[in-house]
Amino acid sequence: MELTARIERYRAIESARGRPLIVYATSTRQGLRAMMAGDAVREFIDQIDAIAESSSVDVLIHSTGGDPLAAWKLMSLLRERFETVAVLVPFMAFSAATIFALGADEVVMHPHASLGPIDPQITITQADGSQRSFAFEDVGAFLRFLNNEVGLTEQATVSAVIDKLFSVVDPVHVGAAKRASELSTEVGERLLQMHMTSDEEKAQAKVIAERLNKKFFAHADAVSRSRARELQLKIADNNPQLERLIWEAFCGVESYMELRKPFIPMHHFLQNGGAPVATAAAPLVLPLNAPQDVQNNLWNHVAQQALAGMAAPGIEVAYTLVNGLIESPRAASENRTIGKMSAARVGGGEIQLSAVDSSIEWAKVDMPEEKP
**61/326 Cα distance (integer angstroms):** 9
What pLDDT digit, counting tens, does each position of 144-169 carry?
Answer: 666 666 666 666 666 776 676 666 66
The vertex-60 CA angle with 250 and 238, nearest 5°, equals: 85
Among 72-86, 185-199, 212-226, the minimum mean pLDDT is found in 212-226
Residue 44 has pLDDT above 70, yes or no: yes
Residue 245 has pLDDT above 50, yes or no: yes
Mean pLDDT along residues 265-291: 75
Pairwise pLDDT comparison (238 vs 182), residue with the higher score? 238
From the CB of residue 224, how many other CB atoms can be counted at a distance below 10 Å?
Answer: 14
Residue 217 has pLDDT above 60, yes or no: no
From the CB of residue 297, how many other CB atoms can be counted at a distance below 10 Å?
Answer: 12
Which segments within the chain are labelled E, that is strand? 21-26, 28-29, 32-33, 56-62, 84-89, 92-93, 106-109, 114-115, 122-125, 131-134, 316-327, 332-345, 351-364
- Which residues are within 8 A (CB) of 88 and not within 5 positions of it... i.e. 6 or more apart? 13, 21, 58, 59, 60, 61, 107, 108, 246
- Are β-strands 106-109 and 84-89 bridged in parallel, bridged antiparallel, or unpaired? parallel
Residue 1 has pLDDT above 90, yes or no: no
Residue 216 has pLDDT above 70, yes or no: no
Q: Tell me if 34 sits within 8 A of 324, measured CB to CB.
A: yes
> pLDDT averaged over the chain?
85
Helices within 18-67 (DSSP H only): 41-49
The DSSP H or E segment spanning 16 is: helix 3-17
Residue 362 has pLDDT above 80, yes or no: yes
- Tell me phi and psi for residue 358, to 5 degrees: -95, -25
The vertex-86 CA angle with 181 and 202, nearest 5°, equals: 50
Give residue 147's pLDDT: 67
**213/215 Cα distance (integer angstroms):** 6
Residue 28 has pLDDT above 50, yes or no: yes
CATH 3.90.226.10 domain range(s) in the chain: 3-121+174-256
Maximal C-alpha separation, the chain: 98
Q: Tell me if 75 sits within 8 A of 44, measured CB to CB.
A: no
Pairwise pLDDT comparison (136 vs 87), residue with the higher score? 87
Residues in the chain: 372
Q: What is the DSSP letter of 194?
A: T
Give residue 322's pLDDT: 98
What pLDDT digit, counting tens, does each position of 296-315 carry?
Answer: 776 676 666 555 555 445 68
Percent of the chain whose predicted confidence (pLDDT) is above 70: 73
The DSSP H or E segment spanning 172 is: helix 171-192
Give residue 133's pLDDT: 66
Residue 22 has pLDDT above 60, yes or no: yes
115: three-class secondary structure by DSSP: strand
Give residue 139's pLDDT: 66
Q: Tell me if 315 sits within 8 A of 342, measured CB to CB.
A: yes
Architecture of domain 3-121+174-256: Alpha-Beta Complex (3.90)
Task: Return the bridge partners of 332, or none.
Answer: 327
372: three-class secondary structure by DSSP: coil
Q: Is 245 left (phi over 0), alpha (psi -120 to 50) or beta?
A: alpha
**120/46 Cα distance (integer angstroms):** 29
- Are β-strands 332-345 and 316-327 bridged in parallel, bridged antiparallel, or unpaired? antiparallel
Q: Which of 161-165, 216-220, 363-367 has the highest mean pLDDT?
A: 363-367
Pairwise pLDDT comparison (42 vs 160), residue with the higher score? 42
Give residue 311's pLDDT: 47
Residue 218 has pLDDT above 70, yes or no: no
What pLDDT digit, counting tens, does each position of 66-121 carry?
Answer: 998 999 999 999 999 999 999 999 999 998 999 999 999 999 999 999 998 877 66
Give residue 167's pLDDT: 67
Task: Return the bridge partners of 28, or none.
Answer: 33
Q: Is the pTM of this model over 0.85?
A: no
Residue 199 has pLDDT above 60, yes or no: yes
Give residue 312's pLDDT: 46
Helix axes 240-256, 3-17, angle to 10 degrees: 160
**282/300 Cα distance (integer angstroms):** 16
Give residue 181's pLDDT: 74
326: three-class secondary structure by DSSP: strand
